[in-house]
């Protein structure tokens, strides 16, 4: 994948990780897709690969959860001690309002 695309995804992830937020790849896609011009199906692969490669650090894990989407469950990325069942799309809205 293009290094510029990977860097854009990483830039979107850094504040989330710093503040210990829960998020999905869709949250990241919503933030970067207009700048990058790629669909979610490609951007989510980068988020998933960064997790598998350990880029998010040891404190983060992911849990497959029903987040209310029409395409089934999604990976919720979260700190080890957080309850991913508490993830809501309102969390994204709160972040955008800061």
The pLDDT score that the predictor gives to residue 72 is 78
pTM of structure: 0.86
Q: Which two tokens stand for residue 68?
A: 């209310």
The pLDDT score that the predictor gives to residue 90 is 61
- d(CA 29, CA 38) in angstroms, rounded, equals 9
CATH architecture under which domain 3-97 falls: Orthogonal Bundle (1.10)
- d(CA 24, CA 63) in angstroms, rounded, equals 10
DSSP 3-state assignment of 67? coil
* Domain range annotation of the chain: 3-97
The pLDDT score that the predictor gives to residue 47 is 97
Instruction: Please list, in sequence order, all residues whose beta carbon lies within 8 angstroms of the beta carbon of residue 84, skipping any fewer than 6 positions away.
Output: 22, 63, 65, 76, 78
8 A C-beta contact, residue 85 and residue 67: no
How does pLDDT run across 14-72, given as a tens digit for each residue? 999 999 999 999 999 999 988 888 999 999 999 999 999 999 999 999 999 988 777 77
């Amino acid at each position: 994948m293009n290094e510029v695309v990977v860097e854009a995804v990483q830039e979107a992830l850094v504040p989330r990780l710093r503040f210990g937020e829960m998020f999905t790849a869709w949250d990241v896609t919503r933030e970067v897709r207009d700048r990058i011009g790629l669909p979610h199906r490609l951007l989510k692969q980068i988020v998933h690969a960064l997790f598998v490669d350990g880029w998010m650090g040891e404190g983060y894990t992911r849990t497959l959860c029903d987040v209310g989407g029409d395409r089934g469950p999604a990976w919720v990325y979260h700190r080890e001690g957080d309850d991913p069942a508490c993830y809501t799309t309102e969390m994204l809205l709160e972040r955008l309002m800061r």
